[in-house]
Structures are given as structure tokens and as C-alpha cells.
Amino acid sequence: MKLSAFQRKALSHALSFPSVERVVYSTCSIHQAENEDVVNAVLPLATSLGFELATPFPQWRRRGLPVFEGSEHLLRTNPEDGLEGFFIALFVRKAAPSGVEEPVEDGSLGRRRKPVIKRRYGLRTCSSLRLSRMILCSTGRF
């Protein structure tokens, strides 16, 4: 039981970061207590933070144990399939957390600012991308 309590805490912590868009919870276990039960326990928090379960590898036939609504989105392998135990739950953020405004490019809430020039390294941020997907674009001065 100590392991599953730690797993619930770690998964909850991962989901708590406001800029996170996807969280994969994965174990090398066949045990319901470490897999479906952990996901089921964290699901109310995940939902309140704007996450929902997505279906990883939709062509994979074996899904989660039917112990809660939504377990069809989970993926598992079992020894009877000739594979070792493995489990995946994919949480995808579909909306901003309740009552929280999403940050804009400059990391603040509210009005967007112009792209920032990174003079030291000759890089600038691309203005069309959200903070969570920010990439650095070359200005040709390396």
C-alpha cells in the first residue's frame, strides 16, 4: 500500500503544474492497486485541473480493468498475452483549471507582449506560440 500511496502523490504532483499539457502515468505492474486504483483516486483532481483521460495506442486491444467509468482509455499488458506486465494512463489537458486564466507568451496573465529578443545568444521567441510550446528561433547570429 505504501507504493500506491506514493504513486498517487507523485501523479497528483505532476498534474498540478499549470503549464503541463500531457502527463503519462506508467508502471511495469499488473496489479490493480498500482494501476487502475491510482488513476481512479487521482481522476477527480485531474478533472478539476482540466485533464481528461485519452486513449494511448487505440489499436491495442487490452484496456484497463473495468473498475471505473473511463477505464477503457487505459492500456495494459498481461503475462497471458506473452508480454510482461505494463500499464499506461494518458492525461491530456483540455481546459484551463477552474477559475484560472491561462498565461500568455510572456508568462503573465492578460495582454500579449511583443516577442522578446534574446541578444546574448542571438535567439528570439516565436510570437505565434504559447509559453508551454515556446521554441527558440535562430536569428542567424551564432
Which of 5-19, 83-97, 113-127 shows the lowest mean pLDDT across its residues? 113-127
pLDDT grade, residue 36 (50/70/90)? Answer: very high
pLDDT grade, residue 97 (50/70/90)? Answer: low
Query: Do 77 and 37 share a domain, yes or no?
Result: yes
Query: Do 38 and 84 share a domain, yes or no?
Result: yes
8-35, pLDDT tens digit by residue?
A: 999 999 999 999 999 999 999 999 999 9
Q: Which domain holds residue 30?
A: 2-93
CA 104 to centroid of chain Cα atoms = 20
Identified catalytic residue from 28, 109, 129, 136: 28
pTM of the predicted structure, to 2 decimals: 0.67
73 DSSP assignment: G
Query: Do 24 and 47 share a domain, yes or no?
Result: yes
- Compute the distance between CA of residue 141 and CA of residue 114 in angstroms, rounded to an integer: 20
Determine the longest span between alpha carbons in the chain, in angstroms. 58
End-of-domain residue from the set 93, 112, 130? 93
Shortest CA distance to 53 belongs to which of 90, 8, 4, 99?
90
Query: Do 79 and 115 share a domain, yes or no?
Result: no
Query: Do 81 and 127 share a domain, yes or no?
Result: no
The total number of structural domains in the chain stands at 2
- Check if 126 is active-site: no
* 30: enclosing H helix or E strand: none
